[in-house]
Amino acid sequence: MSHNHCIRVSLDLKDTNIYFDSIFCEEKMIKGVRSKIYSGTLTYKPLACPCCGIKNENYSIVKNGFISSRIKWLSVAHYPTYLSLKKQRFLCRKCHTSFIAESLEIDKHCFIANRVKQSIGMELSDAISLKDLSKRHFVSTTTISRILNLFGKELSNKFTDLPQHLCFDEFTSVKNNQGKYSFIYSDSLSHKIIDILPDNKRITLEKHFSKYPLKVRNKVATIVVDMNAGNFKLANKLFPNASVVIDRFHLVQLISRSLNITRIRTMNKFKTSNLNDLKNYRKLKRYWKLFLKDSNELNYKDYRYQRLFKNILPETDIMDYLLSLSKELSETYGLYQNLLYCSKNNDFEAFSDLLLLSHELISEPMKTSIRTLKKHLPRINNTFKFPFSNGPLEGTINKIKLIKRIAYGYRNFQNYKYRILLSFQGK
């Protein structure tokens, strides 16, 4: 086995037209950094002239010296590594033009090997800042941004197809953006991100989705959204056959917030100079998590010492005492638990019956939530009918925020978008 083959294997070099001398590697100081230099020669017999197209017969194309270039290669033993390559020059005797030998390992007029670009492209999907990535590969951050744009453009939306089930959501992106939130949508089944828009304005969304042919938009069967009224109008206008599904999490969040506001208002009523009232105030403040917990999950077996009660009590006894402090809080809590039970058991009939009943003793925040739920009953019916939710998309947004935090923010929305698309490529 020749030493050329061994060097190609160690450098993961596939081009067999690159040959190495007997002394092929040395250490040099480049830009003040100790680096490894591999010296090689690129030469072969060209088939034809790229300018005039004449075939290489009867010495119509002859060798005409070399031109040297230093190519950035993948790091070896965490040292900056370069390929000092002598490229063969050729002269065409017919058109009298010269050209240089080319390799699939390096793009024309480029001094960074394709292997380095591919490695950077793969690591761009990891949660790492561009500066740290540039240090790892011994290139500039400008080079990293250029490669990010190169690979990001390949993932851009072609507006040719849409999945049957979609998820819509918003998230905060760059500061100098047109709106406060950016818009993101994905496939409900595969959870693949389809596209990201700079803002969530209705004009922007309509212009974007209008790029899809009507035939493609008619294939969409469901769209999972939050309780933003703008999304309902958008879905009805651009996706005629789609059923709008309100995300189950937002339904529960709406009523849980109303309950929590009720608890806080009740708690503040006990913030007086009276000692017993202050004790109740502290209890309502300390055990806020028990109010939001499913009543079936409250622990009634384990008796533990409760400092504020100065007694050994289970969670059920604590809740019984706290609910006895206010009739309004007790009624609001009861309605919250009933709605939560219907939601967990996909019982739409019972859920709608609860909303239609008259609840005079519940708090005003809960009454407002009930009116909102009544208004969206047809879409809530779809929530119970279809198994889709925005949960996976919320998890995606969580990672998007992590990418932004590690990079200490992004100024350019396009770079941020490409980074997100690369991060979730193939996932």
Report the residue count for the chain: 427
Distance CA 294, CA 338 (A): 10
Let me know if 155 is exposed, middle or buried by CB neighbors in 10 A (0-12, 13-18, 19+): middle
Distance CA 56, CA 282 (A): 92
Give the per-residue pLDDT at 229. Answer: 78
Provide DSSP, 134-177: HHHHT--HHHHHHHHHHHHHHTS--SS---SEEEEEEE---TTS
Task: Please list the alpha-helical segments (H only) found in 211-363.
Answer: 214-217, 229-238, 248-269, 275-286, 288-292, 315-323, 327-344, 348-356
Unique residue bearing structure tokens 């009943």:
357
Calculate what percentage of the chain has a pLDDT beyond 90. Answer: 49
Sign of CA dihedral 414, 420, 423, 427: negative
Distance CA 388, CA 65 (A): 66
- Cβ atoms of 249 and 389 within 8 Å: the answer is yes
CATH superfamily of 165-247+389-423: Ribonuclease H-like superfamily/Ribonuclease H (3.30.420.10)
Identify the bridge partners of residue 306 per DSSP, sorted by sequence position.
Answer: 311
- Cβ atoms of 82 and 24 within 8 Å: the answer is no
Indicate whether 104 pLDDT > 70. Answer: yes
Q: What is the mean pLDDT of residues 253-260?
A: 94
Distance CA 16, CA 70 (A): 19
Torsion of CA 9, 12, 15, 16, to 10 degrees: 0
Q: What is the mean pLDDT of residues 146-169?
A: 91
Give the per-residue pLDDT at 176. Answer: 66
427 pLDDT band (50/70/90 cuts)? low
171 or 410: which leads in pLDDT: 171
The overall pTM is greater than 0.85: no
Tens digit of pLDDT for each residue in 172-227? 887 766 677 899 999 999 999 999 999 888 899 999 999 999 999 999 999 999 88
Give the per-residue pLDDT at 406. Answer: 86
Give the per-residue pLDDT at 57. Answer: 84
Give the per-residue pLDDT at 257. Answer: 95
Within 8 A by CB and 6+ apart from 198, the residues are 173, 177, 178, 179, 182, 204, 413
Tens digit of pLDDT for each residue in 275-310? 999 999 999 999 999 999 999 999 989 999 999 999
- CB neighbourhood size of 240 (10 A): 11
Q: What is the mean pLDDT of residues 97-118?
A: 90
Distance from CA of residue 280 to its chain's centroid?
A: 44
Distance CA 7, CA 24 (A): 9
Indicate whether 123 pLDDT > 80. Answer: yes
Tens digit of pLDDT for each residue in 367-405? 999 999 999 998 999 999 999 999 899 999 998 988 888
> What one-character DSSP code corresponds to residue 74?
E
Q: What is the mean pLDDT of residues 74-79?
A: 86
- Cβ atoms of 83 and 20 within 8 Å: the answer is no
Indicate whether 51 pLDDT > 90. Answer: no
- CB neighbourhood size of 128 (10 A): 14
Indicate whether 1 pLDDT > 60. Answer: no
Calculate what percentage of the chain has a pLDDT beyond 70. Answer: 98
For the chain, give the mean pLDDT.
Answer: 89
Give the per-residue pLDDT at 426. Answer: 62
Enumerate the domain spans of the chain.
3-111, 122-154, 165-247+389-423, 249-385
Distance CA 201, CA 96 (A): 60
Reduce the DSSP state of residue 125 to 3 states and report it: coil
Tens digit of pLDDT for each residue in 11-31? 888 888 888 887 788 888 888
